[in-house]
Amino acid sequence: MTVPPGSGTALFTDRYELTMVAAALAEGAAHRQCVFELFARRLPDGRRYGVVAGTGRLLEALSEFRFGPADLQLLARVVDADTLDWLRDYRFTGDVDGYPEGELYFPGSPVLTVSGTFADVVLLETLALSIYNHDSAIASAAARMVTASAGRPLIEMGSRRTHEEAAVAAARAAYLGGFATTSNLAAGSRYGIPTAGTAAHSWILLHDDELSAFRSQVAALGTGTTLLVDTYDIRRGIEHAIEAAGTGLGAVRIDSGDLGELARQAREQLDALGATGTRIVLSGDLDEYAIASLRAEPVDSYGVGTSLVTGSGAPTAGMVYKLVEVDGRPVSKRSSAKESRGGRKSALRRFKPTGTAVEEVVHPHGTAPAAGPHDRVLPVPLVRGGAVVDGAADLGAARERLRAALVAVPWEGLKLSRGEPAIPTTFHTE
């Protein structure tokens, strides 16, 4: 297959991965069998769980990880000719195991295990971390918001607050996290996520008055549409909305002010006008705490933007990608505070007979501790000999997996307040 210049994912890579490959090829160490592990040393401050996300995107990016002609031209300034030849033919041919997408993770969970020659595997470091650190940060924030919303649907509408490509990945991670829809059309196109939208204040301001704006929107989009009622006076806005659409109006959106108080007033007013089926959509700087505080109010759905796409205070998951094994020998860094555990690892999660999770057990690969009937081995095969395992990238399955995993979290683990991880991680040694 010919790769068009610069269209692949191989340059989403730190320069030092390439110079390490060059040096390793020169001396021969490039071909040593290595295992790298992707994991989080800790959760973001006070968080009680993390959500594994990005698996599907990584597996897709892996198949496009090729050095095309334009890439090689650039790299001629970075590495020697022998390395260029090696890169020209590069395909990942190793194995990947990992927590399936949508699974929970805790400090030290071996989220991803990548095996192959040093050169094969080190090249994927930057891309794998970029994808997992971004997507897991967003999915973890999304899951908290979904918990806070107590069953009311959430619309992801944060595209404008983050990089345009990150926005598409954020919409995907939010959907994985339980959001109902996204405003992002590219996410709809690429991942089949349901899209949704209302109207902007500019729509109202474009018209001579609010009533004309509403009439025009209803004429074009039907009475099921959502009218934005807070451009001028909300009470008048709701009157105009029902005047334009009738009592069958789909929804009104309120984007500013004291949202709880305004929702109550809007509900009363709508009901008094006979629009008892018209829903109320709230938006405007909502995060999981604001959503939780609106639980008692007559809200039908929430639009969430900034806080979702910025991970609600934790914009990166802080995962690392560490060499843990060389030719079957465990290796680890030994200086200072950032100590790592050497050796390839696996993990299982222990559950009570009631289905509640109690412990994450991380253990050396191949020496699994006795597992009870309710316990679950966490890593699954994702890539074998460079080929993606069937079903490993299924977004719908990941969404369902997370929903089920959260049901099994002890109730304290779902609290929004800062605290310890929902379950402890126990490290077994050989």
| Subset of residues 43 to 72 that bind a copy of itself, contact rule: CB under 8 A | 61, 70-71
Beta bridge partners of 37: 113, 322
Phi and psi torsions of 115, nearest 5°: -120, 140
Distance CA 402, CA 399 (A): 5
Residue 220 CB, shortest distance to a copy of itself, in Å, is 4
Residues 6+ apart with CB under 8 A from 305: 156, 157, 158, 160, 161, 283, 285, 286
27 binds a copy of itself (CB under 8 A): yes
DSSP state of 195: B
Distance CA 96, CA 56 (A): 13
Instruction: Tell which one of 84, 199, 211, 380 touches a copy of itself (CB under 8 A).
Output: 199
From the list 155, 113, 100, the residue with the least C-alpha distance to 394 is 100
User: 304 to 323, contacts with a copy of itself by CB under 8 A?
Assistant: 306, 309-310, 315-316, 318, 321-323
Residue 331 CB, shortest distance to a copy of itself, in Å, is 4
User: 370 to 409, contacts with a copy of itself by CB under 8 A?
Assistant: none
User: 231 to 270, contacts with a copy of itself by CB under 8 A?
Assistant: 231-234, 256-257
Instruction: Tell which one of 3, 86, 107, 201 touches a copy of itself (CB under 8 A).
Output: 201
Q: Residues in contact with a copy of itself, total (CB under 8 A)?
A: 99
From the number of C-beta atoms within 10 Å of its C-beta (0-12, 13-18, 19+), residue 296 rates as exposed
- Here's the x/- map for a copy of itself, 115-154, by CB under 8 A: it reads as ---x---x--xxx-xxx-xx--------------------
Output 72 or 397, the one with its CB closest to a copy of itself. Answer: 72
Q: Which residue, chain included where needed, has tokens 């719908």?
A: 396
Distance CA 85, CA 332 (A): 31
186 binds a copy of itself (CB under 8 A): yes
Residue 340 CB, shortest distance to a copy of itself, in Å, is 8
Output 171 or 423, the one with its CB closest to a copy of itself. Answer: 171
410 binds a copy of itself (CB under 8 A): no
